[in-house]
Amino acid sequence: MAKGKLSQLLEKLDNDCIEVLLEHIYLTDRKTLVQLSRSSRALYKLATPWLYRNMNFNLSNQAHLRLLHRLLKEGSSLPSFIRILRIYTNTDTGDLTETLEERLASVMALIKRLKSLTRITWIGHISFPDEVLDIIRKFPKAAFEIPGVETWWTVKWPNCRGSNWNFLRHPAASQLTIFHFCPSMKSQLYPRFKRDLVQMLSRNTALKDFAISPTFVSYLDFPVMTSTFAKSNLPQLMSFTLQTMNNVFTPEELTIWGEKGGWDELKTLRVSTIHILAFIGRTPKLEKMGLQIEPEWHMHELEDHFASLPSLPSMPEMHYLEVFDSWRVCHSADYPHGYSILSPSLIRMMPGLETLRARSLYGNAGNVPSLTAAELSELRESCKNVDQLMIDICVTDGAWPFDVLDEIAHFEKLDNLFLLFHTASADDTRAFLTKRNTAIAFKYIMTVRRSAKLPIERGWSAEIRPQRFAGELENSWFVPSYTIVWTPLGFAWSSTSNLFNDKGKQDEEEKKARKAAKRAKLPKWSTMTDAEVERMRENLQNGTVNSFFAQFTQHKLYREEKRLLSLYLKEEAKRKRKNELVQKFGENATLLDVWREDNREEGHAAFGAERYEEKVEEVTEELCEETMEALGQVRTLVHKRR
């Protein structure tokens, strides 16, 4: 339907009906809403609140600045329609030196005129003015978001004004419902950070989502504030994330917080094993948990603690669990070898678990805490509703651990399997993880499920992906990950190549040098003996490759080497033929001499010796005349074309 007819039909409706339709158009197609607002004055008045509901302003965009000045005109009611406001200040200060303060003043003037603000976001390296916090106090339900600032901003523009992170003392901080803090520099965790943070928590009982996840790796010490926690009224959270090696909160402080009812409404939790005991038994509504293993408190110690309890607490609502190790685990000298990544007692607390992700981010085959067949069997007995499984699988002796695959296949409701493949070296991964070996694992799982009469419904999928960290890989290379999905027509295969590179993207010269270095390690055809070349030729024709050339079957250059071998064999045949002719006729022999000798016996029998020589001379003269005539015709044609 044309836009004109649509606008005519809308104008015939009641205003309430039109607003409902405009809301739907606003959520689905903003461009259509703009076009409708231009079709008539009546529709423009009704569409204006939707057109200005969500506004973005970039301080380096002239069009945005013109719109900003339009909103600031005297008597304009447009700012009252703004509910979501985003300010982008990621601009080069060299372009904003003269007008920076004026532009910030215009933004502040706009914020002061807002009446229905629900969310404001300040993005960039220019610090937000303190007046912003004063203004948003008028909107107690508004969400204030300040994304983290990366350190390269300060390096690139050292004269820029850094972000204002010391805002916890401001009264507006007591209105926060979401607090996500991801510092990228040590200076953002100033000496009084924890004191200001605890004071903000004690003043803010409306906070529901709390997260601290630094992006830098460094240890900072914070004071212990157990007595302050005992005296303070702390909020009841629905989401809590603490992923840092710094002791921002001690286990004792978190325990006191939980005893005050702080975890009664908690649904999402992401902490390390150091702090997990402060939550066990105090989270009746917990649904999702992310657990990071630290060397100070690993799963063996956690299991010993659970064994000392008279009875295990229950988490009936838990349906998602992710467990992974810290980078300090594999680098810790006193950390036990062969540690477990999963606690059986912890699993028994979650009878309704549906998704499990237990993976090692930094381990190698031999010390990867992959789940054993016994652990998988206990998991299957304790959590009968598991339908998504992501675990590590290790290959150390060149064969799949079929006992582990057997336990995986017996999960009754499993419909999504993700195996992270580990070997002892990059070469082993490249050699073993092929489509043939992957098919062996997949077919074994399917055979076991069919024999156990377990369902394989449409959409059942499994994926095997190599898990290698770039520092151990040899330069860069492609390794495939294989996925199999059950469809009405059977299994559908797909494979993707993952590039592992410890140096990032490399230019063409580096790629050529790397390729030349690999080729230099390969045996050259020119250095092989005739017997080796002949044996290689026979093996290629028979479709087999012996052990001497087995490395070529696993190398990307195998096809190129095969082509070079074919060229070598052809050239070798020509060279042998030429040597035979030289030995028989001499180096100055012509093709006529060769023809004369090859047909000498038949010529003598047909014409006799003397007559044969005369015939050869006649043929030679005729060939010479024809050749000269042909050359003359070619010269004539060339001359005409010129």
Q: What are the pLDDT digits (tens) for 575-618?
A: 777 777 777 777 666 666 666 666 666 666 666 767 767 776 67
pLDDT for 46: 75
DSSP letters spanning 567-579: HHHHHHHHHHHHH
pLDDT for 238: 93
pLDDT for 75: 82
pTM for this model (two decimals): 0.63
Residue recorded with tokens 């959409």 = 459
List CB contacts of 5: < 8 A, sequence separation 6 or more: none
Q: How far apart are CA 534 and CA 529, in angstroms?
A: 9
pLDDT in tens, 514-549: 666 655 655 555 556 666 666 666 655 554 444 344
Closest CA to 357 of 320, 329, 310: 320
Look at 304 and 609; give whichever has higher pLDDT: 304
pLDDT in tens, 207-224: 888 988 876 666 677 889
pLDDT in tens, 30-80: 677 777 777 677 777 777 788 888 888 888 888 888 888 888 888 888 888
Which range of 105-119, 183-197, 462-476 scores highest in mean pLDDT? It is 105-119
Look at 202 and 496; give whichever has higher pLDDT: 202
pLDDT band at 370 (very low <50, low <70, confident <90, very high): confident
pLDDT in tens, 87-96: 887 655 445 4
Give me the mean pLDDT over the 267-275 stretch: 90
Neighbour-count burial of 175, counting CB atoms closer than 10 A to its CB (0-12 exposed, 13-18 middle, 19+ buried): buried
Give me the mean pLDDT over the 308-319 stretch: 88
Give me the mean pLDDT over the 141-159 stretch: 48
Crossing angle of helices 591-598 and 558-585, in 10° steps, is 70
Look at 412 and 431; give whichever has higher pLDDT: 412
pLDDT reading at 141 higher than 80: no
pLDDT band at 234 (very low <50, low <70, confident <90, very high): very high
Which range of 310-314, 464-468, 507-511, 573-577 scores highest in mean pLDDT? It is 310-314
pLDDT reading at 353 higher than 90: yes
Weakest-pLDDT range from 239-243, 390-394, 613-617: 613-617
Q: How far apart are CA 398 and CA 191, in angstroms?
A: 54
SS3 readout for 238-293: CEEEECCCCCCCCHHHHHHHHHCCCCCCCCEEEEECCCHHHCCCCCCCCCEEEEEE
